[in-house]
Amino acid sequence: MKIVMIHGQNHKGSTWNTANVLLNNITCEKEIEEFFLPRDLDHFCLGCYRCIEGRDRCPYWEEKKRIDDAVLKADLLIFTSPNYCMMPSAPMKAFLDLFFTNWMAHKPYKEMFGKRAVVISTAAGSGAKKAAGLVADNLRHWCIPEVTVYGVQVQAMNWKNVPDKIKQKINKDMQKLGARLSKNKKVHTGIRTKALFLLGCSMQKAGWGASPSEKEYWEKQGWLDGAKPWE
Ligand SMILES: Cc1cc2nc3c(=O)[nH]c(=O)nc-3n(C[C@H](O)[C@H](O)[C@H](O)COP(=O)(O)O)c2cc1C
CA proximity to 17, closest of 177, 149, 9, 2: 9
E-strand ranges in the chain read 2-7, 31-36, 76-82, 116-123, 146-153
Residue 175's Cα: distance from chain center in Å? 21
Q: Assign 131 a pLDDT band (cuts: 50, 70, 90).
A: very high
The pLDDT, as a whole number, for residue 219 is 98
* Ramachandran sector of residue 70 (left: φ over 0; alpha: ψ -120 to 50; beta: rest): alpha
Q: What is the pLDDT of residues 177-221, one digit of tens each?
A: 999 999 999 999 999 999 999 999 999 999 999 999 999 999 999
With a 6 A CB cut-off, is 108 part of the ligand 1 pocket? no
Q: Which atom of ligand 1 is nearest to the CA of 13?
A: 25
Closest residue (by CA) to atom 29 of ligand 1? 84
- Whether the Cβ atoms of residue 153 and residue 125 lie closer than 8 Å to each other: yes
Determine whether the shortest distance from the Cβ of 191 to ligand 1 is under 6 A: no
Distance 66 CA to ligand 1 centre (A): 29
Q: Whose CA is nearest to atom 8 of ligand 1?
A: 85
Q: Ligand 1: which of 5, 6, 21, 85 to mutate, judged by most atoms within 8 Å of the beta carbon? A: 85
Cα of 184 vs its chain's centroid, Å: 18
Contact predicate 5/34, CB 8 Å: yes
Q: Which domains are delineated in the chain? A: 2-188 (3.40.50.360)
pTM: 0.98
**In Å, how far are 80, 151, 178 from 165, measured between CA atoms?**
22, 16, 20
pLDDT of residue 79: 99
The neighbouring-strand residues paired with 118 are 78, 148
From the list 17, 20, 11, the residue with the least C-alpha distance to 3 is 20
**What mean pLDDT comes out for the span 65-71?**
98
Instruction: Note the pLDDT of residue 231.
Output: 85
Question: How many whole angstroms separate alpha carbon 5 and alpha carbon 150?
Answer: 15
Please name which of 129, 120, 121, 39 lies closest in space to residue 82, comparing C-alpha atoms.
121
